[in-house]
Structure 1
Amino acid sequence: MSRIITVVTPVYDGGAKYLREAYESVKDERQRLPRGWELQWLVQEDGTTGRPLLAIPEEPWISTGMASKGGAGATRTLALSRATGEMVRALDADDVILPGGLARDIAALESHPEMGWCISAGLDLLPDGSTMAGPYDPPEGRLTYETLLAAYDDDRFPVISTHLTARTALLLAVGAWPAIPAWEAIAAVLCCAAVSDGWMISAPGGIYRKHPGQMTSQPSYAEVADQDELRTIVRAQATALRGTGWRWP
């Protein structure tokens, strides 16, 4: 019986310009998975127009859905209702997975069964077509809650949180992506780390596209919530979870 890794992508009406490229990268990854593994891709619209979903074909391994607008966190989490994989990998609609990225995620978690999650380095794709490594990428190896929280407090979060791959049971147990208007991807990483160490994969697993149309570059993005409130609630949730003393598994 095949094992499955599920990729989750939120998209909104007007945000599907690069979704076809994301599809091509996911489709390519299907051919690169370790023997005995299959891929499921969940594409969930943050809204109910159906228009962004037209950018991808109907294929058995792709599951699409939609619901009233709730933000990227709620959209990702709602998509998990259709997840059949034992691992979940995040992917934004304007990013791509690099060749072999999912296979490396699977290998990392198979090699470290005591860990609930892993995350890969990424490359920033700049508007001029050049790429640049993240400024704070940690080396290959174990990632601890203490390390991530200290970096978070120093405003130097060292990983691309939208490259998270987590065991599905862990992700569900910590509430998946919280329904906050921003920073939900960082919150998910910190909550996973609060109850389980993770593994840093130094090989880039994806490309983070920086472009004028991306949601986080819009002037309105800075106004979705008070930054101090976001920083406080993300930290408070992870700290409270850590304080329960519960550890995964």
Structure 2
Amino acid sequence: MALLSVLTAAQSDRADLLVEAGESLAAQELPDGWEFDWVVQEDGPEPGLAEVVGRFPFGRYAANGEQLGIAATRNLGLARAGGELVHVLDCDDRLLPHALATAISAFAEHPDIHWVAGQADDLFPGDMRLPYPALLPAGVVERGVVGTFVLDHGHTPVPCGGITARSVTVRALGGWAAVPRAEDLALVVALAELTPGFLTPDVTFLYRRHLGQSTRQASWVALHGESQTVVRQRLQAVRALGLRAGA
């Protein structure tokens, strides 16, 4: 059986939301010949999520034992992931039942791609959903398209939270960048600059909007500009050196 590893970085104060994320995984409908596991890595000095993850037979739990931040936590989870594909699921988001199958099918239909991004709906309290605006047409995304958009507009045209990628490629790029903000943007930009990908036409995940999310905290704006500078410098350096990954 081929394996896809779903990677979630979590903190103990998100237990209820993590249950919903796990339930959305339990509802996944995978193609024949595929299975998945759920690699949960808990950040923080006082771990408290082992019991939550243990409710799900596909869950695999570990804790940092100290506060390391989301990038380092994801990278430690990546080190435990055994799947040839890795899918990022934030602990407060939910997958729709066809999400993993949609990504797997895209890789099968387009063997040269290294990443797949799903479309998203914003999820508000009361389960109200609003479409997340699509900024690129669905289909194969050639190298450099995402990077040019980021340089022109200052943000990514693909939802970073719904990325499925070849594990070997993520590891070759060093995983998530060691920046205090935009660590997922840094990885996605590098992936999309070096390798082709695919943007699905289907909504595959629900991006939860809530008062506790990191991007809504007053402290989030601190160091955000500096982090964006790191992302742009990395992109410009890749272009200056003419780097690209093989098919």
Normalising TM by the smaller chain, what interval?
A: over 0.9
Instruction: Say if 1:44 and 1:66, in contact at 8 Å, map to a contact too.
Output: yes
Residues 211-230 of structure 1 mapped to structure 2, 5 A cutoff: 211-223=210-222, 225=223, 227-230=224-227
Instruction: Say if 1:47 and 1:69, in contact at 8 Å, map to a contact too.
Output: yes
Moved more, 178-187 or 88-97: 178-187
Unaligned residue ranges in structure 1 (runs of 5+) = none
Deviation of 1:58 (Å): 4.8
Match of 1:62 among 22, 38, 59: 59
Q: Where does residue 41 of structure 1 map in the other structure?
A: 38
Secondary structure (helix, strand or coil) at the match of 1:56 reads: helix
Secondary structure (helix, strand or coil) at the match of 2:41 reads: strand
Moved runs in structure 1, 4+ residues, more than 3 A?
A: none
Residues 2-17 of structure 1 mapped to structure 2, 5 A cutoff: 2-17=1-16
Instruction: Say if 1:117 and 1:164, in contact at 8 Å, map to a contact too.
Output: yes
Count of residues paired in the alignment: 244
Q: Where does residue 159 of structure 1 map in the other structure?
A: 158
1:71 partner amino acid: G
Q: Where does residue 25 of structure 1 map in the other structure?
A: 24
> Could you state the TM-score of these two structures normalised by the residue count of structure 2?
0.92
> Could you state the TM-score of these two structures normalised by the residue count of structure 1?
0.92
Instruction: Say if 2:53 and 2:61, in contact at 8 Å, map to a contact too.
Output: no
Match of 1:103 among 89, 97, 101: 101
Q: Where does residue 93 of structure 1 map in the other structure?
A: 91
Structure 1 residues 58 and 130: alpha-carbon distance in aligned structure 2, compared to 1, 3 A threshold: closer
Unaligned residue ranges in structure 2 (runs of 5+) = none
1:33 partner amino acid: L
What percent of counterpart residues are identical? 32
Deviation of 1:180 (Å): 1.5
Match of 1:231 among 223, 228, 233: 228
